[in-house]
Every structure is written in structure tokens, then in C-alpha cells.
Structure 1
Amino acid sequence: MLRKSLFALVLSLFLSSSFAFAADKIDLNTATSEQLQMLNGVGASTADAIIQYRDAHGEFKTVDELTNVKGIGEKKLQQLSEDLMVSKK
């Protein structure tokens, strides 16, 4: 009985922390310039380039599409991808 209770407690803590991590991600399709600039390595010009790309091409379908933005390559994408998400409609 104690083992089941302990397992349930550990599982609930894990699940609640997983949702907290997802909530902390920035959505490329709704983020403002200020929100994007909170990301490590993203300044005003990069944030504006992301928004300009979104305005010109529509919503991002994947985070990987960020490499289509001028100034963002594979290395920067790897650095940013853990902190980003793309909302699905």
C-alpha cells in the first residue's frame, strides 16, 4: 500500500513539473518582440526578423522552420529550440 502511494506521489510530481516546463515555452506564433528578446541570444533585430517572417509567411508550423529566418542557423536553432513551441490551430 505504501509503495503504491509513493509511486502515485512521484508520478503526480513528475506530471505536474512536465506541464510547468511546457507552460514556460514561448510560442513562435503569438510571441511579441519583447517576449522573444527574453530568449538567450535573441536581441531586438532577431526578434523583429522572426515577427517579420511570421507576418510575411503565416504562422510557423514547426520550430525548425525558424531556420528560414535571416540570421538563424542550425546552431542558433539548437540553442533556442528547448524554449520555443508552436501552437497548433
Structure 2
Amino acid sequence: MTNNVNFSQTTATAAKPLFRSSTDRKLGGVCAGWATYFGIDPTAVRVLMAIATFVLMGMTIPIYAAAWILTPAEAAADVTLDQEIPVPA
């Protein structure tokens, strides 16, 4: 008994990038970026972070700071090496 699998017809899904939001931000854009990544409302993520901050006695503050540092900004993701950089005249 053999299983014939045609690998040429399988479709690969591209990974969705995670970025900090540069347009819908209140502090660092982390909650809005994560909300966009997961497809939910940014206000819900912000409320959950606020509740978690009180419940976990501030432990989400260093987590948010780490996410702010480690998550690339949305504007930085738009720049590619092929684009020309404008030079002031």
C-alpha cells in the first residue's frame, strides 16, 4: 500500500508579519500592532493589557517594554533596499 502525494499542488501560506502600528498608537503601537496581527480590535487588546497590569501587579510593564523594543515599527518594514532614498536639494 503506497500513498501517492502530489507535493507540487500544495499551497504555502506566507507568514503574516508582526509590526508596531505607526498610525493607531497610544504609547508605542504595540497593542495596535498585535491587534492587527490577530485581527481583533485594538481597544480590546489595550483593555486586556490594562486589566492584566493590575491583576499581575505590573508584570506586563516589562513585557510591554520588551515587545516595544523587539517588535519592528511599521514604517521601518516599508523600506526596502530597492527603494530610492530621497535626498534634500
- TM-score bin (small chain): under 0.3
Give the TM-score taking structure 2 as reference length.
0.27
Whichever structure has more helix as a proportion of its residues is 1
Structure exhibiting the larger radius of gyration computed from Cα positions: 2
Give the TM-score taking structure 1 as reference length.
0.27
Whichever structure has more strand as a proportion of its residues is 1
